[in-house]
Amino acid sequence: MSPSLHLPSRWRQFNALTKPRVIQLIVFCALIGMVLAVPGVPAWTDIRLGALACLGIWLVAGAAAAFNCIVEKSIDARMKRTAWRPTAKGELSDRETLLFSAQLCGIGSAILYWGVNPLTMWLTFATFVGYAVIYTVILKPLTPQNIVIGGASGAMPPVLGWAAMTGEVGPESLILFLIIFLWTPPHFWALALYRVEDYRQSGLPMLPVTHGNEFTRLQILLYTFVLLAACLMPFIYRMSGWFYLVSAMILSLMFCYYGWALWRQYSDTLARKTFRFSLIHLSLLFAALLIDHYI
């Protein structure tokens, strides 16, 4: 293969390790935390600081995703959803992937420490450890509550964004943390329902494998109810106004409807729709917070 064809192919392999779609949502949620932390229209210094923070968070999050690919390569190889990953297919070695992860983490941490502030760097690094080590290595293969406990790492982006702009962890950022923390279980359990055979074959103790389909559907429904209450907190705490409240109510009631429909009568198609809507729910919810901030 010629170098002109080889290099783009290698770039795509390394890029795939970072799980780009997941990283986009992480950076977007961090950006919302940054925007909400700055009253009014941001100044140029705020924009510069936010851009550096987004870059640093993207790099460290990508490093965590790449490290996750090393740890789970044998599991990924047994699951249709992940068998295409370069580490699972043997296209990238553990050494190459580990070096890539270390470089991303090092560069991202340096940007956050010297370009943003030390608090953001340490919080981001703690999130890296929480996801790549505590969740992936310890919790995921150990307990069916892995998604619930490990969801704390995935809920950190707004806290990181808030810390980047203010140098502290405010109660507003913790409300955003709570929303994502409660959103994570119904989001992943919907996926696990229609991918249950994949997870059973992988040996991971996901809730549908250990407790069955019906119990998992009930948990999804209950979590959507609790999530609805949490989604009202930005309005109650006066972080947002009526535009956000109306948007949050519509989106959260729709999520509850999906949870209720899934609980009443299961189908793989409905579980897949619930999973996809959960992504729409979180994206539009945070977009509503962003719009509400400026109206």
Q: Is it the case that residue 3 has pLDDT exceeding 50?
A: no
pTM of the prediction?
A: 0.90
Q: pLDDT digit string (tens) for 241-259?
A: 999 999 999 999 999 999 9
Between 201 and 229, the more confident residue is 229
pLDDT class of 2 with cuts at 50, 70, 90: very low
CA atoms within 13 A on the CB side of 52: 19
Q: Is it the case that residue 137 has pLDDT exceeding 80?
A: no
Q: What is the mean pLDDT of residues 25-37?
A: 93
pLDDT class of 107 with cuts at 50, 70, 90: very high
Q: Distance between CA 122 and CA 144 in Å, rounded? A: 29
Per-residue pLDDT, 222: 97
Q: Is it the case that residue 292 has pLDDT exceeding 60?
A: yes
User: 44-48, 159-163, 200-204: which has the minimum mean pLDDT?
Assistant: 200-204
Torsion of CA 32, 34, 38, 44, to 10 degrees: -110
CA distances from 185 to 77, 110, 159, 167 (A): 24, 32, 19, 30
Torsion of CA 133, 22, 293, 52, to 10 degrees: 70
The domains of the chain, with CATH numbers, are 1-168 (1.10.357.140), 170-295 (1.20.120)
Nearest to 276 by CA among 193, 206, 159: 193
